[in-house]
Structure 1
Amino acid sequence: MVPNNKMQYLAASAVSIATMTTSTAAFWSAPILPKFHNNETSISLTSSEISWVVAIMAPGMATGSLVPSFISDKFGRRFTLLTSAIPFIIGTMFVLWATEARALYIGRFLWGIGFGMITTVSSVYLSEIADKEIRGTLTAITRFMANFGALLVLSIGSYVSYQVLSYFMIVLPICYFLACLRIPESPYYLLKEGKVDSAREALLRLSGNKNEKMVEEKLSLMRSDVRREMLRSSSAKELFTGKQYRRAVIISAGLRFTQMLAGTLPIEQYIGRIVQQSNCGLQVSTALLIFGAVRFVIVSIATMTTSTAAFWSAPILPKFHNNETSISLTSSEISWVVAIMAPGMVAGSLVPSFISDRFGRRFTLLTSAVPFIIGTVFVLWATEAWAMYIGRFLWGIGFGMITTMVEERLSLMRSDVRREMLRSSSAKELFTGKQYRKAVIISAGLRFTQMFAGTLPIQQYIGRIIQQSNCGLQVSTALLIFGAVRFVIGLISPIIVDKMGRRPLLIYSYMGSFVMLTIVGAYFFLQKVIGIDDESSNPFRFVVFIGIICSIIISGIGYDTLIFIIPSEIFPMNVRSVASTTLNVFTALLSFVAVKGYQGMEDWTGLYGVFWFYASMALSGAIFTHFVVLETKGKSLREIQIELQGNIYDDTDEQLKKDATNDDVKENSELKQLT
């Protein structure tokens, strides 16, 4: 570590605790769902209620993602981070004290709000405080801790009671709230507010450089960037209407669409239940342990996004189903506990867009701890479902706040930044600008297919799936294996991504998941038709567990990682923040539908129908990638935008030359007028 970068590493460490909080909130349902189904809690939930518990966090994420757009620019990034702890703390209280489903709904929704706030503001804060030489390292720290949080929940969730896991959930937002109190505000935010002296002081703390001349030179460059940025708006309309962004939107949306409908999220949410139903012989705890380990390694280097937080449910669901907690939940209430985090993520994803630019990235990261803390309190003290709903929803808010900010690209070439700042970048322009249309379609398509490929539902229901598979593994053991494998794959994922390229890896991973999910569905079909799991000597009882692990490995290396990388590469900087918020809201809504729909699909078609649907969406993702997604590996931002927009991207050359030089603003009032 370079000595003068110490404060930047400390700031990234504080943010990493926030992302760790989102991952623990997101994965809470994986170990909890089996507990609901086995009546191991004091809350009695129907299958429908359980599905709502799982899914309700997504609307919270959408809500939380919108919050930063209101408070981040007004009160600062640091303030936004601090306030994000509130929905987590309150949500956890609801989860902890829940005695019926509605309390779990509220708690999970509040988790989603905190989730959305953190994911939205954290990446913005890091991009504004980090030196270009260590931006990748700082991002890796936050991603590593996010995966560690998922592994931790998956590892211990099945072995501890519902109350103990809930108490653990309230500690994390408190920790990151206290940690974020010590970090400086974003210098860029301070400059936008005309606080030059405060920006200089923050820059001195972050750089650790006592050479005033070098600090002033860096501050002057920041001023120039701020002035150029002010020449462009950043509305969502520009993202969707600008021609230069169209292909980037198409790629990003397409990847999200195929990833989601390929079943990644539903499988993750219901993995515990799936293992139970597969009768593979594995204990749900063992399957969740393996699942968590695998995903931990996958994401820690590949994406390390706060989506790993959704694995809380993997070890918890078997406890609910086995009545191992003080809360008795019906299957319907359990599904709500798992799903309620998604609405919170929607809410949390919106938070940074309101507060990050106004109050600073640091402030936004600090506030993202609040929904995690409060949400954990609700989960910890829940005696009925409604408290669980609130806690999980608050987790979603904190999750959404962090992931929205983390997903922003952290480094861009200076000339490309200046070029982009000459264009408007409002939300309206994002949706109406022809130049952004391709980017919107790509991004939305990828998010859609990724979500409905089952990643999140399986993650949430992994414990229950292990129980249903009758594989012979303890849920705790399965979760431990799951987390360990995920962690290992995450370590090697970045190397594979850089060597293979985006498009080939997307296609291969979608096709690989298609094969694995089809096999798992076939096993459940045979299980229902001929009862193959009734034989104690059944040699195929581990098919479900192995198939899910292989699918997680494949998706973790491929589309689960790339759906977040590609949008950061195909959207210009001037609309990247707006696009990030919009995509997080879109993803949160998709995750709610995917996770909430898991239980309904299982009741309607059986587990084989669920997995075959996810397989079909994974296949759709491969087809979408082949015909729509462009390759971005080895290309500069300018080259990517020229390929997406053509001549539209070069229209700013004349303006760029006219605005090539700007006098430094030395007085706060002068910069304030410009901004």
Structure 2
Amino acid sequence: MMEKSDRGNRKVQYLIAFSVSLVSVAMGTYTAWPGPVMPKFHDNETGILVTDEEISWIVAISSPGFVSGNLISRFVIDKYGRRATMLGSVIPIIIASLIAVFTVQTWPLYLVRFLWGLGVGVNATTANLYLAEIADKEIRGSLGLISRYMFSFGNLLMMCVGPFVSYKTLNYMLLGLPIIHLLASFWIPESPYYYLKEGKVDNARKVLRKIRGCKDEKILEDQLLQMHTDVKNDMRHSTSARELFTGKKYRRALVISTGLKFSQIAAGQLIIQEYLGLIMKESESEMALSTVFIIVGSLRFIVGVLASFLVDKLGRRPLLIYSYGGTGIFLLFIGIYFFLVQALNISIPSFNFVPLAGIISSSIISGLGFQSLIIVVPAEIFPLNVKAVAMTYISVFGGALNFVITKAYQSIKDYSGLYGVFWVFAAGSLFGCIFSIIYVPETKGKSLTEIQVELQGVLYERSEVKKLNEVICQDDHDGCRELKELVSKNSNHV
């Protein structure tokens, strides 16, 4: 009976994930926007005069916006809830798209990219947290990757359409995507974990019944009790940043998430995407840029679909190890090619395919592994009381690091050529491989509680039902009274 119920409720969970992830389509287009647009600036096709230095700022400025969005989400996600925060993230995206349509100067483009980054930052943190909280543990990985799949679809749209339409037309088209998301996501429920955190047990029960589709009240009450027990246990501890960085019980999760985010950004896949058009021009490839964009975008889209199936079948750890290692090897080969061509002035026209082949291969391998898992693992390994703070920290750290590396791209390229750039990326990827081997545990098929037990060991304090009555529910508010009733019902069944 439980199996049948699970199959029914999972349809609802997948539908929720699809609605939430529609904004990822817009996020994907904004992220891929520099790829086809930077060559238009470089070739004076936009009517806006932009220098190489200004291009580097346009590309990089989205990262401070992303950081700002994550900081904002830190203060609103627990105050107003996951649902309201996700819907509100669309506002700066719409404003930025309007500015992009009408501006004829360079400096407003900085604001456009900043606001796009801000909206993406708010939504990325909130959506990952929300999906991790509403999903069954058996499909949590694949459910979380739906947003990655939709993000890749947004990349594909931009890369397929961007090279063939004018700059103005492209910006007009971007206006409709966030509005579609807003309309499609009004029906989604609030996270049951958030309701339990606020002491609204009856609201949590209604949402749980909706997303789990459970007709057996005993099973529903058991699930609700387990969730409430976990929430109360987690919330016994502070939710502050100080608690996150000083609490020994969070140290391993903090090291794991920081190392994975550092190596993801240092591997340079996002930067390669943003500078893809200009990189291909220097590679002397004979393939048309429009064809390159279509091939890369299509493959990333396909990889996004495959990743959603692999993550809950092969596990997180093997995918991380092999994807970081494989990506590093291909980036190393690209660096060798540019070293021979740019540093040693060796003409090797028969090997002009190497940069494109290496970029495609590294994109496929990273997309199947760490690029997808980087949004899944951190959402799994932190307990509820510090999860919002932790997810904000990870995104802020990633955004700041991405800004530094993106802005440094032009300087590294001017100093050493593209070979220096790709060798830096290769080093970052190989670091991720070694780090994953040493530090990252497997979380596939484990409940959020089981993950905490493994990470914290003896530091993890799981409350028994009796202790929960005696210690946690000392106040006589509605949430505690309802929890006591749940405990009583479950005790009667034992």
Q: So what's the TM-score if we normalise by structure 1?
A: 0.63
Matched, 1:46 2:63: no
Please tell me the residue identity of whatever aligns with 2:402: S
Q: State the match for 1:629 in structure 2.
A: 439
Question: Alignment partner of 2:77: what SS?
Answer: helix
Question: Alignment partner of 1:302: what SS?
Answer: helix
The structural deviation recorded for 1:621 is: 3.5
Please tell me the residue identity of whatever aligns with 2:33: W
State the Cα deviation string for residues 403-460 of structure 1 (Å, max 9, x = none). xxxxxxxxxxxxxxxxxxxxxxxxxxxxxxxxxxxxxxxxxxxxxxxxxxxxxxxxxx
**2-structure distance, mates of 1:271, 1:121:** 29
2:128, 2:375 within 8 Å by CA — same for their partners in 1? no
The structural deviation recorded for 1:612 is: 2.2
Q: State the match for 1:457 in structure 2.
A: none
2:144, 2:375 within 8 Å by CA — same for their partners in 1? no
Identity level (%): 45
The structural deviation recorded for 1:232 is: 2.5
1:77, 1:121 within 8 Å by CA — same for their partners in 2? yes
Q: State the match for 2:491 in structure 1.
A: none
**1-structure distance, mates of 2:196, 2:12:** 19
Matched, 1:190 2:190: no
**1-structure distance, mates of 2:212, 2:450:** 32
State the Cα deviation string for residues 230-272 of structure 1 (Å, max 9, x = none). 3222222222222232233222212222232232222122111
Task: State how many pairs are aligned.
Answer: 476
Please tell me the residue identity of whatever aligns with 1:250: V
Matched, 1:279 2:96: no
Instruction: Find the partner of 2:414 among 586, 594, 603.
Output: 603
Distance 1:134 1:156, change over 3 A: same
**1-structure distance, mates of 2:138, 2:23:** 23
Matched, 1:541 2:352: yes
Q: State the match for 1:512 in structure 2.
A: 326
**2-structure distance, mates of 1:188, 1:134:** 17
Residues 113-262 of structure 1 correspond to what in structure 2 (within 5 A)?
113-132=118-137, 135-136=140-141, 138-207=143-212, 219=224, 221-262=226-267
Q: State the match for 1:57 in structure 2.
A: 62
Residues 46-125 of structure 1 correspond to what in structure 2 (within 5 A)?
46-125=51-130
**1-structure distance, mates of 2:201, 2:445:** 36
Say which structure, 1 or 2, has more relative contact order (CA 8 Å, 6+ apart). Answer: 1
The structural deviation recorded for 1:205 is: 4.3
1:192, 1:672 within 8 Å by CA — same for their partners in 2? no
Bigger mean CA deviation after superposition, 8-17 or 577-586: 8-17
2:26, 2:154 within 8 Å by CA — same for their partners in 1? yes
Matched, 1:23 2:28: yes
2:234, 2:384 within 8 Å by CA — same for their partners in 1? no
Bigger mean CA deviation after superposition, 107-116 or 94-103: 94-103
2:78, 2:388 within 8 Å by CA — same for their partners in 1? no
1:253, 1:583 within 8 Å by CA — same for their partners in 2? yes
**2-structure distance, mates of 1:639, 1:7:** 25
**2-structure distance, mates of 1:21, 1:589:** 22
The structural deviation recorded for 1:215 is: 5.5
Q: CA RMSD in A?
A: 3.4
Q: State the match for 1:587 in structure 2.
A: 398
Please tell me the residue identity of whatever aligns with 1:514: G
Residues 229-628 of structure 1 correspond to what in structure 2 (within 5 A)?
229-302=234-307, 493-494=310-311, 497-498=314-315, 502=317, 505-529=319-343, 538-626=349-437, 628=438
**2-structure distance, mates of 1:635, 1:184:** 25
State the Cα deviation string for residues 245-304 of structure 1 (Å, max 9, x = none). 22332222122222322322221221111011101111111111111122222233436x
The structural deviation recorded for 1:117 is: 0.8
**2-structure distance, mates of 1:674, 1:599:** 60
Please tell me the residue identity of whatever aligns with 1:545: L
Please tell me the residue identity of whatever aligns with 1:19: S
1:191, 1:199 within 8 Å by CA — same for their partners in 2? yes
State the Cα deviation string for residues 502-533 of structure 1 (Å, max 9, x = none). 2x654544443333223222322333356556
**1-structure distance, mates of 2:358, 2:115:** 33
State the Cα deviation string for residues 367-409 of structure 1 (Å, max 9, x = none). xxxxxxxxxxxxxxxxxxxxxxxxxxxxxxxxxxxxxxxxxxx
**2-structure distance, mates of 1:621, 1:5:** 33
Please tell me the residue identity of whatever aligns with 2:479: L
The structural deviation recorded for 1:5 is: 5.3
The structural deviation recorded for 1:17 is: 0.4
Matched, 1:11 2:16: yes
Question: Alignment partner of 2:287: what SS?
Answer: strand
State the Cα deviation string for residues 164-190 of structure 1 (Å, max 9, x = none). 221222111101111122223333333
Bigger mean CA deviation after superposition, 189-198 or 207-216: 207-216
State the Cα deviation string for residues 119-148 of structure 1 (Å, max 9, x = none). 111123223434556545543433322221
State the Cα deviation string for residues 460-518 of structure 1 (Å, max 9, x = none). xxxxxxxxxxxxxxxxxxxxxxxxxxxxxxx6x537843xx62x654544443333223
**1-structure distance, mates of 2:106, 2:246:** 42
The structural deviation recorded for 1:106 is: 0.3
2:26, 2:178 within 8 Å by CA — same for their partners in 1? yes
**2-structure distance, mates of 1:78, 1:634:** 26
2:92, 2:116 within 8 Å by CA — same for their partners in 1? yes
The structural deviation recorded for 1:583 is: 0.4
Question: Alignment partner of 1:513: what SS?
Answer: helix
**1-structure distance, mates of 2:451, 2:147:** 27
Q: State the match for 2:492 in structure 1.
A: none
The structural deviation recorded for 1:151 is: 1.6
Question: Alignment partner of 2:284: what SS?
Answer: strand
**2-structure distance, mates of 1:263, 1:250:** 21
Question: Alignment partner of 2:163: what SS?
Answer: coil
Please tell me the residue identity of whatever aligns with 1:171: G
Distance 1:272 1:10, change over 3 A: same
The structural deviation recorded for 1:540 is: 1.5
Please tell me the residue identity of whatever aligns with 1:671: G
Question: Alignment partner of 1:74: what SS?
Answer: coil
Q: State the match for 2:487 in structure 1.
A: none
Question: Alignment partner of 2:351: what SS?
Answer: coil
The structural deviation recorded for 1:31 is: 1.4
Question: Alignment partner of 1:598: what SS?
Answer: helix
1:497, 1:558 within 8 Å by CA — same for their partners in 2? no
**2-structure distance, mates of 1:634, 1:82:** 30
1:6, 1:208 within 8 Å by CA — same for their partners in 2? no
**2-structure distance, mates of 1:670, 1:150:** 47
Q: So what's the TM-score if we normalise by structure 2?
A: 0.84
2:413, 2:420 within 8 Å by CA — same for their partners in 1? yes
Distance 1:522 1:49, change over 3 A: same
**2-structure distance, mates of 1:494, 1:659:** 37
State the Cα deviation string for residues 317-348 of structure 1 (Å, max 9, x = none). xxxxxxxxxxxxxxxxxxxxxxxxxxxxxxxx
Distance 1:164 1:194, change over 3 A: same
State the Cα deviation string for residues 15-53 of structure 1 (Å, max 9, x = none). 020222222221111111111111121211111111111
